[in-house]
Amino acid sequence: MLIVSGSSCRYLAVNVSKLTNTPIVPNECKVFPDGEIYVRINGDVSGKPVAIFQSFALKPNDYLMEFILLSDLVRDLGASKIIAIIPYFAYTRQDDRFKPGEALSIKTIASIFKSLNIDSIVTIDMHLHRVSSPSELFKIPVYNLSAMGLLMDYVMLSFKPESPIVIGPDEESRQWAETAARRANVEYDVLEKTRYNSYRVVVKPKRLDIDGRDVIVVDDIISTGGTMVEAVKALRSCGARRIITACTHPILVDKALSKILEAGAEAVIGTDTVPSPVSYVSVKSVIAEFLTRMFQ
């Protein structure tokens, strides 16, 4: 196997290459003055399986276009197989028409990937709610790995929470709360919003008492931080002793980090699927272990 890295994922690609003892093929990615993207591979990939690393975070349009050019180039240069390693997969949230006339972005992206003749996709905690099987949608194997175990290992070791409980900020985050709680062998719950009238809304755990306990709030993505801010405020009002927040993809736009900390969280922990000030946890081991199993 060989590794080719797009410009958004070079550091992670290098770390995975070291763990798997896999050569990285040098390449060049740049932007012309008119905004067009240029890519060039400076090595021989003919007859070899190639893993292309590219995260779609922060500049999804540019990084997606770069990935399209790289993957088509790798195929044209004779690679025997293409594995797309996409730690953060953008355009998955719009999986339904919430308003008439909206584009189904995940369906459109799936169509683009089909045209590229990619053999498989490896991603981390893909934002899936109404799509039960991404493999069926993309018509190729999609391996959706998780970083929740790594995040929980980090939190438990670094913060040593007392009487810990894992909380998902809403019903859609239940899948990640359950995975995280299972890793640490602790209880979990999700927050439930109850609206009493136009002015009074109460957010609280559905079934468990958190008074005096240390709470780890987990979600797949923190983007603007709005959901996490409300969760932290609600948990403080319910008597949580300490609140540590964690997510796989720390997008953190619009001062999200400071807003969450000001709301009362002790820390925000993220992974390197998205480079950020809180990317304390690396997903390199999860990807490396998977690739090792794939090519054994």
Active site residues: 193
Spatial contact of 73 and 41, defined as CB atoms under 8 Å apart: yes
Sign of the torsion formed by the C-alpha atoms of 281, 276, 231 and 60? negative
Which tokens belong to 2? Answer: 């060989």
Which tokens belong to 175? Answer: 């899948």
Q: What gap in Å lies between CA 182 and CA 176, rounded to an integer?
A: 10
Q: What gap in Å lies between CA 206 and CA 189, rounded to an integer?
A: 7
Q: What gap in Å lies between CA 219 and CA 180, rounded to an integer?
A: 10
Cα distances (angstroms) measured from residue 30 to each of 63, 155, 285: 11, 38, 29
Find the length of the chain. Answer: 296
H-helix or E-strand containing 19? Answer: helix 10-20
